[in-house]
Amino acid sequence: MRITVLAGGVGGSRFVRGVREECARRWPDGAGGTAASVTVVVNTGDDIWLSGVRLMPDFDSLLYSLAGVNDTERGWGRAGETERVSAELREWGVGWPWFTLGDLDLGTHLARTVWLREGLTPSQVGERLQRRWPLGVRLIPATDTEVDTHVRVADPEASDEREMHFQEWWTRYRATLPALAFRQQHIADARPAPGVAEAIADADLVLIAPSNPVVSIGTILAVPGIREALAATAAPVVGVSPIIGGKVVRGMADACLPAIGVETSAEGVGRHYGARAQGGLLDAWLVDETDAAAAASLTADGLPAASAPLWMHDLDTSAALAGASIDLGLGSTPAS
Ligand code: FO1
């Protein structure tokens, strides 16, 4: 069984941990792992150069979480973190005072930056970083091109519009400045990183994690070639709603969806992705039990949808959600 997941950082990490666990239960390898192969195509739109180092927040969230060394409280960064270097950088006036780089986390950014400077691509760097811990899944950045997301906002100080890096909008303004548009740098020239198109083409099942549909999944899909690979794969494509009862499960997708004219609802995001049989992405869409009415209405309109408990409180509920999406995919007929 080959499963490919498209994912962002925090919601993506919980979901992928569930997929790994569910695969180990369904297709055990006899050594505590799984005989299934799971590949995760990771959003790179949140990436940024800051204080001289390259950050890949979603990649690192998945890396740390799957390795079991993540800070579960904050949802990003390392457990047991200290922030001595960040305090020094603040004294020197280097970097952003509202953005903290933990000391352990900085080790990752420094290693990544050294390897990039030596000429490795981000996906090659990603491979090296994964060698440190047995993750049980393979992580690939969606693209090796730097496609950092910028956000166009109404400038609070100048009664004008201006553009800022996604991380400034997200962490400094907590996404409170209304976003007018999102733009990924160099996206037209980007190509899928090596292995991404193959992981989609050769999969038995493709899952779209309950990640931000605009800045996480939206960025992955905006890389020329990825949407085409999804349209062409023989594998069923199943999406999981990041919205439950009209509210975001985690993150701030509700601050992003209006900028692309999509309603913050399980039905709105399902319609946004669309049915593969109707030129969209999905063979099936999974919503929460409380959104069962949305599932019925989408199914009636040609997007097969089902409902299951979507809240991921712990490993068991994450694995149950992964199981429901796997069942939905393996039971559904892909569009031809
Ligand atoms: N989020 C914050 O709210 N404040 C921070 O200072 C911060 C630092 C940071 C450093 C490394 C990293 O990988 C992620 C970090 N994040 C921080 C999280 C990140 O900004 C976002 O949550 C994600 O990019 C959105 O998925």
Ligand 1 pocket check for 170: Cβ under 6 Å:
yes
| Any atom of ligand 1 within 6 Å of the Cβ of 9 | yes
Q: Whose CA is nearest to atom 12 of ligand 1?
A: 57
Which atom in ligand 1 lies closest to the alpha carbon of residue 10? Answer: 26
Which atom number of ligand 1 is nearest to the Cα of residue 61?
Answer: 13
Indicate the average pLDDT of the chain. 95
Cβ atoms < 10 Å from Cβ of 255: 23
Mean pLDDT of 47-75: 97
Taking the centre of ligand 1 as the mean of its atom positions, its distance from the CA of residue 294, in whole angstroms, is 32
| Cα-based distances in Å from 7 to 4, 11, 209, 232 | 10, 8, 5, 19
> Taking every pair of C-alpha atoms in the chain, what is the biggest distance, in angstroms?
63
Task: Calculate mean pLDDT across residues 164-189.
Answer: 95
Angstrom CA distances, 103 to 71, 76, 86, 92, 107, stand at 13, 13, 7, 16, 7
Determine whether the shortest distance from the Cβ of 99 to ligand 1 is under 6 A. Answer: yes
Say what the pLDDT of residue 336 is.
46
Cβ of residue 11 lying under 6 Å from some atom of ligand 1: no
CA distance 70 to 79: 5
Question: Average pLDDT in the 108-131 region?
Answer: 98
Q: Counting atoms of ligand 1 from 1, which one is nearest the CA of 212?
A: 26
Q: Whose CA is nearest to atom 1 of ligand 1?
A: 171
How high is the pLDDT of residue 102?
97
Contact call for residues 335 and 283 (beta carbons, < 8 A): yes
Rounded distance between C-alpha atoms, residue 240 and residue 307, angstroms? 10
Q: Which atom of ligand 1 is nearest to the CA of 99?
A: 6
Q: Which of 223, 311, 284 is nearest to 41 (CA)?
A: 223
* Ligand 1 pocket check for 105: Cβ under 6 Å: yes
- pLDDT of 188 higher than 90: yes
Residue of minimum CA distance from atom 16 in ligand 1:
76
Give pLDDT, residue 249.
81
Give the C-alpha separation, 201 to 162, whole Å.
39
Q: Answer whether 77 contacts ligand 1 (Cβ < 6 A).
A: yes
pLDDT of residue 75: 87
Closest Cα to residue 82, out of 105, 108, 102, 57? Answer: 102
Identify the sign of the CA torsion 276, 281, 282, 288: negative
Q: Which of 276, 266, 280, 278 is nearest to 308 (CA)?
A: 266
Share of the chain above pLDDT 70, in %: 98
Q: Quick one: pLDDT at residue 149?
A: 98
Give 260-272 pLDDT, tens digit per residue.
999 999 999 999 9
CATH for 2-143+188-330 is 3.40.50.10680
In ligand 1, which atom is closest to the CA atom of 9? 26
Ligand 1 centroid – CA 293 distance (Å): 35
Cα 48–260–267 angle (5° rounding)?
A: 115
Return d(Cα 131, Cα 92) in angstroms, integer: 34
pLDDT at site 159: 73
User: In this predicted model, what pLDDT tens digit does every residue of 66-110 receive, in sequence order?
Assistant: 999 999 988 899 999 999 999 999 999 999 999 999 999 999 999
Q: What is the CA radius of gyration of the chain?
A: 19
219: Cα separation from own chain's centroid: 9
pLDDT of residue 40 exceeding 60, the answer is: yes
Ligand 1 centre to CA of 171 (Å) is 7
269 burial level (CB within 10 Å; 0-12, 13-18, 19+) = buried
Overall pTM > 0.85 = yes
| Total Cβ atoms within 10 A of residue 316 | 11
Q: Is the pLDDT of residue 205 over 80?
A: yes
> What's the rounded Cα separation, in Å, for the pair 20 and 38?
7
The whole-number pLDDT of residue 334 equals 53
Q: Where exactly are the structural domains of the chain?
A: 2-143+188-330, 149-187
User: Does 101 contact ligand 1 (Cβ within 6 A)?
Assistant: yes
